[in-house]
Amino acid sequence: MYNVVDIQKILPHRYPFLLVDRITALEKGRSIEGYKNISIAEPVFQGHFPDHPIYPGVMIIEGMAQAGGVLAFESMDAEGQEGIENKVVYFMSIDKAKFRSPVTPGDKLIYRLSVIKNKGAVWQLAGKAYVDEKLVAEAELKAMIVDK
Protein backbone atom coordinates (compact mmCIF):
# COMPACT_ATOMS: atom_id res chain seq x y z
CA MET A 1 0.00 0.00 0.00
CA TYR A 2 2.77 2.48 1.01
CA ASN A 3 6.39 1.65 0.24
CA VAL A 4 9.41 3.22 1.94
CA VAL A 5 9.51 6.14 -0.55
CA ASP A 6 5.85 6.92 0.21
CA ILE A 7 6.56 6.70 3.96
CA GLN A 8 9.47 9.15 3.63
CA LYS A 9 7.05 11.68 2.07
CA ILE A 10 5.00 11.49 5.29
CA LEU A 11 7.57 11.03 8.08
CA PRO A 12 10.71 13.12 8.64
CA HIS A 13 12.73 10.06 9.79
CA ARG A 14 15.59 8.75 7.65
CA TYR A 15 18.14 5.93 7.80
CA PRO A 16 19.19 4.65 10.28
CA PHE A 17 16.12 5.79 12.23
CA LEU A 18 13.29 5.13 9.78
CA LEU A 19 11.87 1.98 11.34
CA VAL A 20 8.94 1.18 9.00
CA ASP A 21 9.64 -0.49 5.66
CA ARG A 22 6.08 -0.73 4.38
CA ILE A 23 2.47 0.05 5.30
CA THR A 24 0.22 -2.84 4.29
CA ALA A 25 -3.18 -1.60 5.54
CA LEU A 26 -4.58 1.75 6.63
CA GLU A 27 -8.08 2.72 7.65
CA LYS A 28 -8.04 6.48 8.19
CA GLY A 29 -8.92 7.49 11.73
CA ARG A 30 -9.06 3.84 12.85
CA SER A 31 -6.06 1.56 12.30
CA ILE A 32 -2.82 0.82 10.50
CA GLU A 33 -0.60 -2.17 9.82
CA GLY A 34 2.99 -2.03 8.66
CA TYR A 35 6.25 -3.86 9.04
CA LYS A 36 10.00 -3.69 9.34
CA ASN A 37 12.31 -6.45 8.19
CA ILE A 38 14.95 -6.93 10.87
CA SER A 39 18.40 -7.47 9.35
CA ILE A 40 21.76 -8.21 10.97
CA ALA A 41 22.94 -5.14 9.03
CA GLU A 42 21.01 -2.86 11.45
CA PRO A 43 23.55 -0.50 13.10
CA VAL A 44 22.04 -1.19 16.53
CA PHE A 45 23.34 -4.79 16.46
CA GLN A 46 26.95 -3.59 16.67
CA GLY A 47 26.34 -2.95 20.34
CA HIS A 48 23.09 -4.81 21.23
CA PHE A 49 24.58 -7.40 21.55
CA PRO A 50 27.55 -8.40 19.37
CA ASP A 51 27.44 -12.11 20.26
CA HIS A 52 23.67 -12.32 20.87
CA PRO A 53 21.79 -9.86 18.59
CA ILE A 54 18.47 -8.73 20.07
CA TYR A 55 16.47 -5.87 18.53
CA PRO A 56 15.95 -3.35 21.37
CA GLY A 57 12.47 -2.95 22.82
CA VAL A 58 12.76 0.82 22.60
CA MET A 59 13.26 0.48 18.82
CA ILE A 60 10.12 -1.67 18.59
CA ILE A 61 8.16 1.04 20.42
CA GLU A 62 9.64 3.72 18.14
CA GLY A 63 8.66 1.70 15.06
CA MET A 64 5.11 1.43 16.39
CA ALA A 65 5.10 5.17 16.97
CA GLN A 66 6.30 5.87 13.44
CA ALA A 67 3.52 3.70 12.01
CA GLY A 68 1.12 5.60 14.28
CA GLY A 69 2.51 8.85 12.89
CA VAL A 70 1.66 7.71 9.35
CA LEU A 71 -1.86 6.89 10.54
CA ALA A 72 -2.28 10.30 12.20
CA PHE A 73 -0.93 12.25 9.22
CA GLU A 74 -2.94 10.28 6.69
CA SER A 75 -6.09 10.72 8.83
CA MET A 76 -5.84 14.52 8.81
CA ASP A 77 -8.47 16.31 6.77
CA ALA A 78 -7.59 17.88 3.42
CA GLU A 79 -6.79 21.27 5.03
CA GLY A 80 -4.32 19.66 7.43
CA GLN A 81 -2.71 17.68 4.60
CA GLU A 82 -1.63 20.90 2.88
CA GLY A 83 0.84 21.76 5.65
CA ILE A 84 2.08 18.22 6.38
CA GLU A 85 5.70 19.09 5.50
CA ASN A 86 5.67 21.66 8.33
CA LYS A 87 4.36 19.21 10.95
CA VAL A 88 5.96 16.57 13.15
CA VAL A 89 4.58 14.02 15.63
CA TYR A 90 5.81 14.22 19.24
CA PHE A 91 5.44 11.47 21.84
CA MET A 92 3.47 12.56 24.89
CA SER A 93 3.43 9.26 26.76
CA ILE A 94 4.10 5.54 26.51
CA ASP A 95 2.02 3.41 28.86
CA LYS A 96 1.54 -0.29 29.56
CA ALA A 97 4.62 -1.29 27.54
CA LYS A 98 5.31 -5.01 27.66
CA PHE A 99 7.97 -7.02 25.87
CA ARG A 100 6.95 -10.64 25.49
CA SER A 101 9.55 -12.25 23.24
CA PRO A 102 12.91 -11.24 21.75
CA VAL A 103 13.12 -9.99 18.15
CA THR A 104 16.21 -11.13 16.25
CA PRO A 105 17.80 -10.73 12.80
CA GLY A 106 15.70 -12.38 10.11
CA ASP A 107 12.38 -11.55 11.77
CA LYS A 108 9.61 -9.61 10.04
CA LEU A 109 8.32 -7.26 12.74
CA ILE A 110 4.67 -6.41 12.09
CA TYR A 111 3.15 -3.33 13.73
CA ARG A 112 -0.62 -3.13 14.27
CA LEU A 113 -2.06 0.00 15.79
CA SER A 114 -5.62 1.10 16.44
CA VAL A 115 -7.01 4.41 17.60
CA ILE A 116 -8.20 4.48 21.18
CA LYS A 117 -9.02 8.19 21.06
CA ASN A 118 -8.40 11.20 18.82
CA LYS A 119 -9.11 14.75 19.84
CA GLY A 120 -7.77 17.39 17.49
CA ALA A 121 -4.00 17.03 17.19
CA VAL A 122 -3.76 14.45 20.01
CA TRP A 123 -3.84 10.73 19.23
CA GLN A 124 -4.01 7.84 21.69
CA LEU A 125 -3.15 4.50 20.09
CA ALA A 126 -3.05 0.85 21.11
CA GLY A 127 0.03 -0.69 19.53
CA LYS A 128 1.01 -4.31 19.15
CA ALA A 129 4.02 -5.87 17.45
CA TYR A 130 4.14 -9.41 16.09
CA VAL A 131 6.61 -11.85 14.59
CA ASP A 132 5.00 -14.82 12.81
CA GLU A 133 1.63 -13.87 14.39
CA LYS A 134 3.20 -14.15 17.87
CA LEU A 135 2.77 -11.05 20.04
CA VAL A 136 6.27 -9.77 20.88
CA ALA A 137 5.49 -6.30 22.30
CA GLU A 138 2.62 -3.96 23.09
CA ALA A 139 2.08 -0.45 24.42
CA GLU A 140 -0.36 2.44 24.54
CA LEU A 141 1.05 5.51 22.84
CA LYS A 142 -0.08 9.10 23.06
CA ALA A 143 1.23 11.60 20.52
CA MET A 144 0.53 15.09 19.26
CA ILE A 145 0.94 16.59 15.80
CA VAL A 146 2.72 19.95 16.15
CA ASP A 147 4.29 22.57 13.92
CA LYS A 148 8.03 22.11 13.31
Task: Calculate mean pLDDT across residues 19-29.
Answer: 98
What confidence score (pLDDT) does residue 86 get?
Answer: 86
Domains of the chain by residue range: 4-147
pLDDT digits 0-9 by tens, 133-144: 999 999 999 999
Q: Is the pLDDT of residue 34 over 90?
A: yes
Q: At 69, which amino acid appears?
A: G
Catalytic, out of 12, 31, 44, 48: 48
52 is a catalytic site residue: no
pLDDT digits 0-9 by tens, 57-116: 999 999 999 999 999 999 987 555 667 778 888 999 999 999 999 999 999 999 999 999
Average pLDDT, the chain: 94
Q: Which CATH architecture has domain 4-147?
A: Roll (3.10)
Q: Which of 93, 143, 148 is nearest to 120 (CA)?
A: 143
What's the length of the chain?
A: 148
pTM value is 0.95
